[in-house]
Chains A and B, each alone.
Chain A
Amino acid sequence: MRLRLLSLPLALSLALPAAACSTPGGGSGGAGDGTVKTGGTVVFALSDEPDVLDPTLANTFVARVVFTSFCEKLYDADDKLNLVPQLAAELPKVSADALTVTIPLRKGVTFNDGTPFDAEAVKISLDRHRTLKGSARVKELAAVKTVTALDPATVQITLSRPFSPLGAQLADRAGLIMSPTALKKLGDKFGTSPVCVGPFKFESRTSGSEIRFTKSTNYYDADKVHLSGVTYRIVSDPNVRAANLQSGDVQAAERLAPTDALQLKSNPDVTLRDISAIGYQGLSINVGNVAGTAAPAGRVNTPLGRSPQLREALELSLDRDAMNKVVFAGQNAVDCLPLPLQSRFRPADAKCTPYDPERARQIVEASGEKLPIPVNLLVPARPADQKLAEVIQSMAKKVGFDVRIRQSEFVSSLAAARAGDFDAFLIGWSGRIDPDGNLGDLVGTGGSNNFGGLSDPAFDDLIKRGAQASDDAERQKIYTEALARNAQLRSIIYLYHERWFLGLSSKLTGVVYPGDGIARFKTAAFTG
């Protein structure tokens, strides 16, 4: 069997020293100066409450944040969103027919309950992800046919179809490995006292308040862990997170508001780090969702739904830079692609539709539609979304659109969007490191998040080919074509990537903040 590597050159993975395997990039540069102390607990202000801490069932972004402290994955992502081995020893090796993936595992690793980490444990976790009733991982691992423990340090995965994004899936929740002993003991209640391989082990959870972890003595890289614990405190309001950071009640706070971040820059007690989030914000246009996302796409009889030219006019009317300045103090990164700015799959010469209200007005007037053209804009009831919707309304009005904002609480707005009850829907996507995760399910035929109901066989074919191709250069070529087609169809007008600000106490050093926007505390320490 001829083997080749998935996603990254072999040289890169082999060049990585073993210790570096579990630490992605992201500038672990210390915030503080002075001697590194051993001990102390970091209190981290989390932006929302995680759901169940069970890798198979969890589906919130914040749960991903918490998992990094106590539950390692087969792979992780670095600054540039490249895969780096974590519990795996090397990058996955793919057979010539792309249907068999072999993963060598780290040796001498134990779970936080002392259970040895081996191929059988990986098989148990992956099988649970694929088969447990209600598992949120089923779709992510749909291409997996079998998982086999070849020997204690090697796992082999066979696929029903070639699927390049598998590596990226294993660098997300589908790659989290659970202790077989704890699984046997707790079953579907694993999330109440989860046990994995990680620098910290689960201590307690006070629902709605905080989750505590203490240093693990079983961790294979324990000599790099300086803190005696990490506590995740749920502080939903960004202004309150900033105040807590300033008062010293928390030593780290994620997703600070851009306006607070500007103020904190001058505070000597606080150090700021920022990244462009891998997710995006966009305006989904209903082009074919006539009976819900689960039903076949049809023909939507609205001016925007019928006419790609009017969708172009709407995009031409939007000044992304002005939106960013007015709503986000200029801190976000405006963009017209769904791929993260760090992604190596982005086309080198990508050009956005420029702001051109004159041209937009001409298209609207030539459309033959009765003016102003009504647009029912569905908006989740969140302060920033409301402001953004008002800016869109004002910009689109100037070229002949009558945007009527319909605010709805988040879950209700998602229900309305899935039912096709909108002309345009202001919604974002949390983002994935592989292009497939930012396209297939969002604009591909039948995708569960394809709110606009786009159904274009040519585009679907490109997405399918992109997922099947295993060579990076070939994939980039396919995705460049797919993105061009996507831009033509305009079922989503992409607006920006959020800039996430991580605030740290200046006494804290060694916190890693890689491209996925999730802070890691494995190497963090207080300074004297």
Chain B
Amino acid sequence: MGQFILRRSLASLIVLFLASIMVFLGIRALPGDPALVLAGESPDAATIAAIREQFGLDAPLPVQYANYVAQTFQGNLGISTKDRIPVADILVERLPVTLELTSLAILVGLAIGVSAGIASAVRRGRSTDYVATGLGLFGLSVPHFWLGLIAILVFAVKLRVLPASGFVGLGEDPVENVRRMVLPALVLGTGLSAVIMRQTRSALLGQLSADYVRTARSKGLSRSREIRHGLRNSLTTVVTVLGLQLGALISGAVVTEQIFVIPGFGKLTVDAVLSRNYPVIQGAVLVTVTGYVVVNLLVDITYAYLNPRLRLSGASE
């Protein structure tokens, strides 16, 4: 197991290094000069030159990359060109917000997805199955943006039971924080629950028709224990899907944060790209890639833990 973790960790570091180069070059390949964006509506050459110098944009690309790497190792991710706030401060402020939102969305996704998946698999071919599958298809197809607007119209405008937008920190007012997170988490979790439902259903159906379950059933195992056995073996698929869905969750968070005015990480990244805010893009992508890599590493480890054959097959490769 130790060797397995070490191998996967080294691979993750290489991914991080390559990602930093790709992001650095990728954003600079975009048309649009950040100095021009910053110079205002009526830019003049002297102001543009001063801004380039101020943010180190006049240096050759290898020098800019070296500075970026050196600064990153010192824990300094630079200054946001838009609002002149240290990037690290912005990330520290924004990251927990998106983590809270995505965690709640995962909870919503798991709660709805797993239970609907079980119900659908157990009652295969019956009305429960059709309803759950139909809702799953709806959850997959409906855009977050539309769902968010509908949720605001129903719960905030018509029923007035939940706020339409805004964010209050967990430490500031926990009750208000939860009240303001309910709609965004439901909206973001809906798509995820649909994916989880479909995966749970198909994995559980596979397990329930497997030989070992049939044998257990023939020996008089109760239906509920039969499902429990099948479900445990289906969870590896669900865990893998959850890891793979992280990207979709982050991109969904961008839209959800935009609609519900949540100062999260996804919105920050998109806004930074649109305003060519290089330090924020670099910092945000670095943190996102790190998060992605770490989550996938954890998924791999969990997977190996749940299925010991994987550890052995990894070692023999």
Contacts and interface: CB of A to CB of B under 8 A. Distances in A.
Interface in B156-194: 156-157, 160, 163-167
Given A208-B271, A243-B164, A134 B51 contact: yes
Contacts of B33: 415
Contact of B84 (A191, A209, A239, A448): A191
A243 B149 contact: yes
B35 to A, nearest CB: 9
A59 B149 CA distance: 31
Nearest to A419: B31
Given A133-B50, A234-B261, A239-B149, A207 B85 contact: yes
B45 interface: yes
A248 B165 CA distance: 10
Given A233-B165, A236-B258, A134 B54 contact: yes
Interface stretch (A13-21, A47-55, A484-492): A47-55
B261 A59 contact: no
A209 B32 contact: no
Interface in A236-279: 236-237, 239-240, 243-244, 246-250
A59 B166 contact: no
Given A192-B84, A240-B149, A209 B263 contact: yes
Contacts of B43: 139, 448
A416 B33 CA distance: 11
B167 to A, nearest CB: 6
B125 interface: no
A285 B142 CA distance: 40
Nearest to B46: A138
Interface residues of B, number: 52
Given A247-B157, A410-B274, A411-B276, A134 B50 contact: yes
Given A208-B94, A243-B152, A415 B36 contact: yes
B301 interface: no
B209 to A, nearest CB: 47
A231 to B, nearest CB: 9
A93 B47 CA distance: 30
Nearest to A206: B263
B144 interface: no
B42 A449 contact: yes
Contacts of B42: 139-140, 441, 448-449
**B47, B85, B262, B274 interface centre (most CB from chain A within 10 Å):** B47
A43 B33 CA distance: 34
Interface of B: 30-33, 36-47, 50-51, 53-54, 80, 82-85, 90, 93-94, 148-149, 152-153, 156-157, 160, 163-167, 258-259, 261-264, 267-268, 271, 274-276
21 contacts: A52-B83, A52-B84, A57-B84, A59-B38, A135-B47, A136-B40, A206-B167, A207-B85, A209-B166, A235-B261, A237-B259, A244-B165, A248-B160, A249-B163, A294-B45, A411-B32, A411-B37, A412-B30, A415-B31, A430-B41, A449-B41
Given A134-B54, A139-B42, A412-B30, 6 more contacts: A136-B39, A207-B83, A209-B263, A237-B258, A250-B165, A441-B42
